Each structure stands twice: as structure tokens, then as C-alpha cells.
Amino acid sequence: MKNKNYTYNTVFSLVFLLIYSCGIEKYIPEGEQLYTGAELELEIVSDLKGIKEVKTELFNLIEPNPNATFLGMKPALFFHYKAQREKPGFFYKFLNKSFGEEPVYISDVNTERVEELILNRLDNNGFFYSRSDSKTTIDGKFASVNYMASLPEPYVLENYNLESDSLPIYKEIEKMLTETALVKGDRFDLDLLKAERTRLNNGLKQRGYYNSQEDLLIFEADTNQYKNKKFDLFLRLKKDVPARASIPYTIDSITVYPNYSIEGDTLPLTKNNVTQVDSIDFVQNELYFKPELLESYLLFNEGDLYDASISKQTSNRLSALGSYKYVNIQYTELDTTATDGDGGSLAANIYLAPLTKRSIRAELQAVTKSNGFTGPGILLTHSNRNVFNGGETFSVSANFSYESQLSSGNNSSLSSIAGGINADLIIPRSIPFSPSRFKYAVPKTKVSLGLNFLQRSQLFRLSSANASFGYTWKENQYVYHQLDPISINYSRLTNVTDEFQTILDDNPFLSLSFEQQFIAGLLYSFTYDEVSNIGKEYPLYFTTNLDLAGNMLNLVSRSSNTIFGSEYAQYAKVDADLRFYMRWKKERTLVSRIYAGWGVAYGNSQTLPFVKQFYSGGPYSVRAFNIRSLGPGNFNAETENATTDYFDQSGNLKLEANVEYRFPLFSYLKGAFFVDAGNVWLTGDYSDIEDDQLTSNFSQTLFTDGKFEKDWLKEVAAGVGFGLRLDIQNFVIRLDLASPLRVPYLPENNRWNVPFFGNIDNNMTLNFAIGYPF
């Protein structure tokens, strides 16, 4: 108890010193006041619709921003001041470079400019003839500003009309006005008018108006018809619009160059190098891509009106083939003398520059795992793009690795040898469905075959074969689907040693999971990913997976739970992963994550197969604990005298949550602070397991302590830590040092721990991994 009190006092003292040292008043130069921020007061005549949004918009105009505050302190400014000393030392130079901020003084604030910005923005929102003012308050070494604005009654829309004309373009605009967002009673809003003009211009470009531009559309507001604050809005084309901008264009010809060289000249059209499919010319001296297949990726035809959105979708589809590094669709006006009312014509030329057809990649790997296994590995991959002249990619990869247990004691001699060969054929078409059904991106058909083995010294050998057939496709920019209607996995456990057989005898849950040798079923994955959109400040990521096995086999072999002499698994498994990102300037990101997974065995299965079970702990989970060392529930393998460190603790239910703050340090070196929490549990009724398999204290304790109960929160493990990441063009090497905050397998009244300072065993865990944890 004395040691714990000493630890708590030490932590408290450090926090107190930090708060005391972050006082920055003494560092503010003489004659300056630190700017602490501003307030905005609006004086309005009555309750107005959308006034909160207007106030937020106005408040965002106030500049500059004051120095950041954390718990009433300004640590970033404190680090800056400390680094300006004659001998700041490495520590403060490091903190200033990573977190420091230069001071913002009241002399840096231009109140007149802010007042002008407020008045201008109020005019844009329909509050004409507004007034603004400001008042500066000085309190010793600190100063703040209070901005005031008086808003009159705004101007609102009464009628929205299109000026009539005989040009065909006016008829198209009139059709689009039925879908306008501008309605009677709307306050004058310049941003809404700009959005309306953008919408109309995009609509025209989808209706053949190749030369349409936003600045050709003009809005005019008329207030002369009303005594109160209303206005009529008129839309027209500006005077002297070029004839080419007011006429629709038709695609007169389409020419595709499937084997175009960026450095070379365009091939001339001859009888020997042109193949025509549905009036589309494919020009290639030697067959690179079958024209009849490539034609199905084009979404426009000869005689169609020009459509900018269809052209972009076609470019995306061609890029997604995986065979081309360069896709360029160019249009040439064939009729440059068209007059008002007459249509023009375009020639579409599609230039496709192929990627290198064959490639070989070798990767040397050094693997260090949280369970102490370390060793080298090698991966060789050969890829052949466009192997059948239809955009198909065939790849074969072989891998081999050796790992050895570096821990001391009885397990120091454990080693692992793994290897395998896998082949994938990716076909950029949905067999047997037509590509034309998918507008955004054509699904890809993937066929995979693989053979793998794992040899654990002193334990067992596990051989496996797998095969799958399925589809992947993007529904839009953010939504991605993967469906494998056929997924087969066969595994065989051999060379079982007496030591491992003892483990299986003591643990029926683990033993049954290895008996599920044949897995055949359906896999489906749905992903919504906004993270790839760099411009999004608060992107969202969500993915869920559904895994069903054994249903079709059960129909085929109703009288037996085996097929080809092997027992097959029957289960349903689902998991979901939700992440929310908050991005700030200087590459700072706060990531929150919630994960949940549940699997249920049924039919002739009593447990999930070993490879389908959930586990907790390790570099991609609760990092304060070794991989597979948590759970189920408050079960503790060490107290049950497990005969080897191999024992993997797993379950069929997993709950996990993580929060991680990421920030830059130097160049490619990034830092992070994180908090992880989670565990795995057992659900369901295991009473069907034979009584003689439950005779050991080990197995009885496992099912008792590992069961998911209503007080499951008491069994959640938690840890905190910090990490370093070497991030070179999205290739990340990661080191995370973590320490337990709550240990679920300790006595209930002794599960909390002071991270890094507590006296429990294994109080720190170092994780080495490739890639971010989530």
C-alpha cells in the first residue's frame, strides 16, 4: 500500500508542477497584451429562420484565432516561450517543434477589417444596410474583443423566373428549374445563387452543351415591385454569348487507342490496324485488348448527346480495369461554324496507355510478434496483367517464414515454420452479368486458390487448402462491396505431440475448434470509407462482414455431418467496425473506433472453427496485453497451469473500443497517444459437450469465467500508451509502448492499475507492427 501511495503522490506532484509551470503571463513582453479571443453579439429585429447558421458563418470570419487552451492552460504557447530562451535545451525545442504556437497579441488583431468582412457577409445573406462595431477590453496582460452587428429585416424571394428566348438552351434550363432549391420566402443568399448556377451549368453539360460555362448564366434581382423587403429573381444568359456555348453537341465518331504510348505518335487509321465494333474504331497494330470486351466499358455511343458525367464515369471504369496507367478522353469540335439553334458535333478520342505487362516483386520481411515469436520471411509475387487480352490479371505468390520464441524458460526452444503458394485471377467483368448494369464501376470477378502449411515445433503441423469465387465492386465514391458466394477452406491437423494433445484434452473448446476441418460457405463485406477523401475534416469509416458456412453442405448431406470424409463446420458470424476521424491542421488526427463481433455455431458444430474465433490483445487490438492473452471473460490461463505459452485465448464474442491521437514529430516520424479497451467472451450453451471432456478444472474454469454475463463491463481490459510511426508514403513501421490500466483476470477488487508505475507483472508491452492499428 505504501508503494501505491508513493506512486499516486508522484503522479499528482508531476501534474501540479505542469499546471504551475504553464503560467505564461510572466513571458508576455512589456507593452503587449495576449489576445484571448472574441465574442459576437447580433441585434436582430425579430426571430429569423437560419439565424444560428448566419451567426456561425460570421463568427468564422473573426481573425486571428487565439492561442489554443487546454484545461485552462496554454501549453503550446508555454513551449514556444521556453524555446526562445538562450539555451532552451533539447526537451523544450522538441515540444515547441511538435506542439508549440507563436503568441497572438492584440496588436495582431485588425478589428476594422473584421467589421468589413462581417458587413460584406451580411450583404451576401440579404441583410443589406447592416451596421457593425467592436470594443476592445484590456485586463492586465490580456485583451479580448467584442464585435457587435445590427441586422435589419432581410430581403426574401417572391418569384423566380427565367427570361424567355427562342434558343433551345432556354428550354433545357426551364426543364431544370422544376428541381431548383430556391423557393418563395427564402432569404437572399449569394451562396445559394452560386450553387444554383453550378447546378444549372452541370445540367447543361449533361444535355449536350459542351461549351457551357457558369459565368454565362446571370441572376438579376428586382426590388422595385414591392414596398416591403421582397425581390423577384430573373435568370438569363449574358449578352453576346458565343454561339458555340448555346448549342448542344452530338458525338459523331469514337476512336479508341488501346495500346497508346505517351511518348509516341498517334497511330493513323488503316485497314490493317482498325477493328470496328458498334461503329467504334479500335486502333492497335498488335492485339493488346480485345475490342469486343473493351467496348462494354464505354457508356456513350455514336449519335449520343455529349454528357460530361457519362464521360467521367467512362474514364473511371477504364482506369479501374487495372491494365492502364493513363486514361484520357479528348473531344474535338468537328463543326466550328455552327449558328444559333443548330447543333454541333464532336469526335471522341480515347487514349489508353498500358501498364507494364509483367512484374516480379520480392519482399524480405522481419517479423516480431507480441507473443515473442521473431524471425525472417520472404514473399515472391509474379503478376501478369492483361493475360488473356481482356484486362485480366493473373498473379502467383509464394511465401516462407521462420519464427522462433525468444522468451526465456521452458518455451525458449519453440519455433514456427510457415509457407504457402497462392494464385489469383482477377477478371474486370462480372461473370456472368453484363457490365452495363453497373454505371459507377464494373465489378471484378476474382478466383483464388491456395495451399498453406504451419509447423509448430513440439506441438503440431496444420496444412490447409482454400478456394474462392466472388465479386468486388464500388457502388460510388465511398461504398465498396465484396461478395464471395463460394468460399472453401480445408485444414488438417497432423503430427500432434503429446504436449499439444494434453492441451486439447484439457480444453474441449479448443479441441472441438480444430475438428472443424472443412469450411464452405458465403462471405459478404460492406465498406463505407470517407477517409480517402483528404478534404473531409470529419470522415467516417464503417465496415461489416457476414460469414455463413455449412448451409449448402447440410442440404447435400442431410444424413451425415461429414463430406469427403471430413467434418464440416456450420456457423454464422458477423462483425462491425466503426471509426470516426477528427482532422486538424499540421497532420493532427483524433481517431475513435468501436468494434463488435459475434459468431454462433449450430447444426453439427458446437464451437466456431479455430481460424474463425475472435481474440484480443496484440498490436492491432488492446496493445497493453500480448496477442491472444486476454479472455475469455476473466479467465486466466497462468493460474490454470497451462503447459505451454502456445495456448491461445479466444471466444465467439468480441467487444472493443479505441481512441488514438496522432501528431507529427520530425519529417516522416509521427507520434501517437492511445487508449484501448476490450475483451472476448463465450456465449451459448456448451452442455452438449461430453461430460468426460469437462472433468478437468481447466475446462470447467474456462467455461465458467469466460461466459458473457450482464456484468460484462467488469471484465473489460483497458490500457494506455504512446507510439512512434515511421510513415514513408503510406508505408508505416510502428512501435507502440503500452501499459495496462485495468486487468480483468485479477481479483475483482484489484483490477485497476497505475499505467507504467504499477507493480503488476508485465506492466509494459512493446508492440512492433506494420501499418496503423486502425
- Single-letter code of the amino acid located at 572: A
Distances in whole angstroms, Cα of residue 515 to Cα of each of 549, 609, 611, 643: 15, 8, 11, 21
Distance CA 633, CA 271 (A): 74
User: Per DSSP, which regions of 355-443 are E strands?
Assistant: 358-368, 373-385, 393-405, 415-427
Instruction: Supply the pLDDT for residue 6.
Output: 41
pLDDT, averaged across the chain:
85
Does residue 21 have a pLDDT over 50? no
Examine the pLDDT at 640 and tell me if it is beyond 60: no
When pLDDT is cut at 50, 70 and 90, the band that residue 434 belongs to is low
**pLDDT, tens only, 133-149:** 999 999 999 999 999 99
In the chain the domains, ranked by start, together with CATH numbers, are 2-151 (3.10.20.310), 156-246 (3.10.20.310), 249-354 (3.10.20.310), 497-770 (2.40.160)
The residues, any chain, with a CB within 8 Å of residue 200's CB and separated by 6 or more, are 173, 176, 217, 235
pLDDT of residue 10: 42
Minimum mean pLDDT range among 80-94, 175-189, 395-409: 395-409
- DSSP assignment letter at 436: G
How far apart are alpha carbons 150 and 162 in whole angstroms? 34
Instruction: Kindly state the average pLDDT of the residues 55-68.
Output: 92
Contact between residue 190 and residue 54 where contact means Cβ atoms under 8 Å apart: no
Let me know: does 493 contact 461? Beta carbons within 8 Å: yes
Answer whether residue 7 shows pLDDT above 50.
Answer: no
Give me the pLDDT at residue 408, please. 40
Q: Which amino acid is at 159?
A: N
Given a cut of 80, whether residue 370 has pLDDT beyond it is: no
Find which of 3-7, 84-88, 617-621, 671-675 is predicted with most confidence, using mean pLDDT: 671-675
Higher pLDDT pick, 373 / 481: 481
DSSP 46: S
Summarised one tens digit per residue, pLDDT across range 494-521 is 888 888 888 777 777 677 777 667 888 9
- Supply the pLDDT for residue 577: 97
- Give the pLDDT mean for 636-641: 64
Amino acid at 25: E
Q: Which among 589, 763, 754 has a CA at the least distance from the CA of 660?
A: 589
pLDDT at 620 over 80: yes
Q: What is the pLDDT of residues 150-165, one digit of tens each?
A: 999 999 999 999 987 7
Closest listed residue to residue 733, CA positions, set 774, 768, 767: 768
Q: Which pLDDT belongs to residue 20? A: 45
Rounded mean pLDDT, 246-250: 93
pLDDT in tens, 255-305: 999 999 877 656 565 656 889 999 999 999 889 999 999 998 999 999 999
Helix H, strand E, coil C: the string for 171-202 is HHHHHHHHHCCCCCCCECCHHHHHHHHHHHHH
**Straight-line distance from the first to the last Cα atom of the chain, in angstroms, rounded to the nearest whole number:** 38
List the beta strands (DSSP E) in 292-343.
324-333
Mean pLDDT over residues 602-630, rounded? 86
Question: β-strand 34-44 against 142-151: which pairing, if any?
Answer: parallel
The pLDDT of residue 556 is 61
pLDDT at residue 245 greater than cutoff 80: yes
| Confidence band for 688, pLDDT divided at 50, 70 and 90 | low
Q: Which residues are within 8 A (CB) of 584 and not within 5 positions of it... i.e. 6 or more apart?
A: none
Average the pLDDT over 6-17 and give the result.
44
How far, in Å, CA of 269 to CA of 264, rounded? Answer: 15
In the prediction, which pLDDT does 14 show?
A: 44
**Cell 477590453, residue?**
137
Share of residues in the chain with pLDDT > 70 (%): 85
Give the model confidence (pLDDT) of 463-500 as tens digits. Answer: 899 999 999 988 888 999 999 999 998 888 888 888 88
Per residue in 89-120, pLDDT (tens digit) is: 888 888 887 778 899 999 999 999 999 999 99
Q: Answer whether residue 695 shows pLDDT above 60.
A: no
Give strand pairing partners of 739: 720
pLDDT for residue 699 = 66
Q: What 3-state class would DSSP assign to 580?
A: strand
Q: In the prediction, which pLDDT does 200 show?
A: 96
C-alpha 491/C-alpha 464 separation (Å) is 4
pLDDT for 440 equals 74
CA distance 755 to 577: 27
* Rounded distance between C-alpha atoms, residue 290 and residue 272, angstroms: 15
Residue 115 is predicted with a pLDDT of 96
Residue 19 has pLDDT above 70, yes or no: no
**By C-alpha distance, which of 266, 388, 273 is closest to 323?**
388
For residue 348, count other CB atoms closer than 10 A to its CB: 22
Smallest Cα–Cα separation from 294: which of 330, 255, 325? 255
The pTM score is: 0.76
Q: Which of 364, 578, 320, 351 is nearest to 472 (CA)?
A: 320
- CA–CA gap between residue 388 and residue 321 (Å, rounded): 13
